[in-house]
Amino acid sequence: QRIFNDATFSRNGDFSCNNCHIDGVTDGLVWNILLDGDVNTLAFRNVSGTGPFLWGGQLPTLFDFSREVLRLVGASATGEEMEKLTEYMQSVTAPPNPYTLPGGRLSDAQLRGRELFYGKANCGTCHAGPLFTSGEIASPGKTNKPTDVPSLVATYDSGPWGREAQWTSLGAMVDYAVDYAGATLSADERADLLSYVEALPGDVLYLNASAPQGGSANVFSGIAPELTFSSILAPDQDGAFAFEVEAEGSWSAVAGTWTTHGRVARFTPDAPLANQTSYRMRVAEGLEGAHGRQSAGELVVDFATGEVALTDVSGPWRLDISGMVSGSVDLAFLQATGGKVTGALLQANGDIEFDNVQGYVAGNTLFVDSFLADTLYGEVLVDSIEVDLVDADDDGYAESGNGTLYSIVTLNVAATRLALPGG
């Protein structure tokens, strides 16, 4: 919460997430600062499970979004702090909807609107499931750009609406959507449909957070999978949950036990999860919560475990770079259980230059995600680094390695450990 709201984390101390996503909603402005051109600021409530992120869907997980935004503002956050920011963003939810009756119940007009939403207005095709998004990239519409289908949860006060803020009223956006879907509705039907959209999520039970996040890769196989919902769950619904594994293109159940307590459903497998394997948590449509709330569609959270890390890269390293350009980069890594790596780019005097390096170790290979590095040629985006590691003395800590750095050009990397952790 502090990272989200505190501008002192940014490079110049003048910008935080809350500058644009005021109280988790929106500043109502159009920006061109990330990866998808001129775009309207989206509200940042109930975002868990609504990936991919950005209007163009370029970022698959909320953690990727956290990393991109922190890089944008030059925030000096550690990998652990990024994890905490991601967890906080998953926890931000909309207040009770003022357009519904007590308990989220719907009025007669809203009930008629719901029939239209899932019927002849055809809204539910794209705005599907408990979070009212299919998670797919829609074909170009009014903006002539492929667009990630946005969630409609608590959209009543998140205007202006549309990728480029084309609509200053929710009614105007609904009218466009009806025409875009090719539906023919009377004025009264359009009013009922608008009334239902204003009421969302209404009496719908939806997902607030998941561990791991949907779409995550290289997940530690020892993770405790769980789902957190918007409301306390009704008892005796263990049969609504499934935990499945993918093999040769088909899915089958994993032996284990689902338990629910309050808003949380947790899965305990009978045997440890396998490495390098795809899994999914699946929740049947109609899961019940307090006050008669129900999920609006099937919910699926998929993820993949990673390969076992056979060596540890914790500690300071020097990467000597050769090819079309040459030089060296010093980084310090901290490797967690399961192989996840966080790190910092170091200056020549050992001070931290950029404290936001992410990656993982799989087998004997280190994979480093993208980060910005100051070079003789200015600030350069390093897309990724792959290094095959060597642990010559078999002490569990890699001492060296060779690999490739991918950026504007592809370069060679010779990695050398400078010291053991704490050494």
Q: How confident is the model at residue 82 (pLDDT cuts 50, 70, 90)?
A: confident
Beta bridge partners of 266: 226, 259
Beta bridge partners of 280: 244, 302
Q: Quick check: 336 and 36 in contact, CB under 8 A? A: no
pLDDT of residue 77: 62
Q: Would you list the DSSP string of 310-333?
A: -SB--EEEEEEEESSS-EEEEEEE
Token representation of residue 107 = 């009025």
CA distances from 44 to 26, 27, 96 (A): 8, 11, 16
What's the pLDDT score for residue 353? 63
Domains of the chain: 102-199 (1.10.760.10), 205-306 (2.60.40.1220), 315-417 (2.40.128)
- The confidence band for 347, taking pLDDT boundaries of 50, 70 and 90, is confident
Q: Residue 396 has what pLDDT?
A: 93
The Cα–Cα gap between 402 and 418 comes to 15
**pLDDT(361) > 90:** yes
Of 81 and 341, more confident:
341
Structure confidence at residue 16 (pLDDT):
84
Rounded Cα distance between 256 and 86, Å, is: 28
Of 247 and 34, which is predicted with more confidence?
247
Tokens 């949907």, residue? 214
Angle at 132 between CA 127 and CA 135, to 5 degrees: 70
pLDDT-wise least confident of 20-24, 318-322, 400-404: 20-24
Q: What is the pLDDT of residue 313?
A: 95
Q: Evaluate if residue 343 carries a pLDDT over 90.
A: no
Euclidean distance between CA atoms 416 and 321, whole angstroms: 11
pLDDT (tens digit, 9 = 90+) per residue, 109-134? 999 999 999 999 999 988 987 788 88
H or E element, residue 361: strand 352-362
Output the pLDDT for position 79: 63
Is residue 301 a contact partner of residue 281, using CB atoms and an 8 Å limit? yes
Per-residue pLDDT, 35: 64
- At 399, the pLDDT band (50, 70, 90 cuts) reads very high
Distance in angstroms (rounded) separating the CA atoms of residues 406 and 410 = 5
| Neighbour order of strands in the sheet with 256-261 | 207-211, 226-229, 264-269, 256-261
Q: Model confidence at 140, in pLDDT bands (50, 70, 90)?
A: low
- The residue type found at 49 is G
Q: What is the pLDDT of residue 51?
A: 82
Parallel, antiparallel, or unpaired for β 216-219 and 299-305?
Answer: parallel
> Is pLDDT larger for residue 395 or for residue 75?
395
Higher pLDDT, 23 or 73: 23
Strand partners, 33: none
Q: Which residue has the tokens 């480029």?
A: 164
Neighbours of 195 (CB within 10 A): 20
Mean pLDDT computed over 149-167? 91
219: helix, strand or coil:
strand
Q: Is the pLDDT of residue 279 over 80?
A: yes
Give me the mean pLDDT over the 396-414 stretch: 95
Radius of gyration of the chain (CA): 24
Amino acid 153 reads V
pLDDT at position 356: 65
Lookup result for tokens 């002192």:
8
| Rounded average pLDDT over 237-259 | 96
Residue 392's pLDDT band, with cuts at 50, 70 and 90, is: very high
Mean pLDDT of the chain: 87
- Residue 83 to residue 212: CA distance in whole angstroms: 11
Confidence band (pLDDT; 50, 70, 90) for 76?
A: low
Nearest to 73, CA basis, from 5, 22, 164:
5
2-11, 74-83, 214-223, 256-265 — which one is most confidently predicted on average? 256-265
- For the chain, percent helix, then strand, then coil, each to nearest 5? 20, 35, 45
Q: Is the pLDDT of residue 354 over 60?
A: no
Q: Does the structure show a pLDDT above 60 at 355? A: no
* pLDDT tens readout for residues 298-337: 889 999 998 889 999 999 999 999 999 888 889 999 888 7
pLDDT (0 to 100) of residue 142? 57
pLDDT, greater one: 422 or 206 = 206
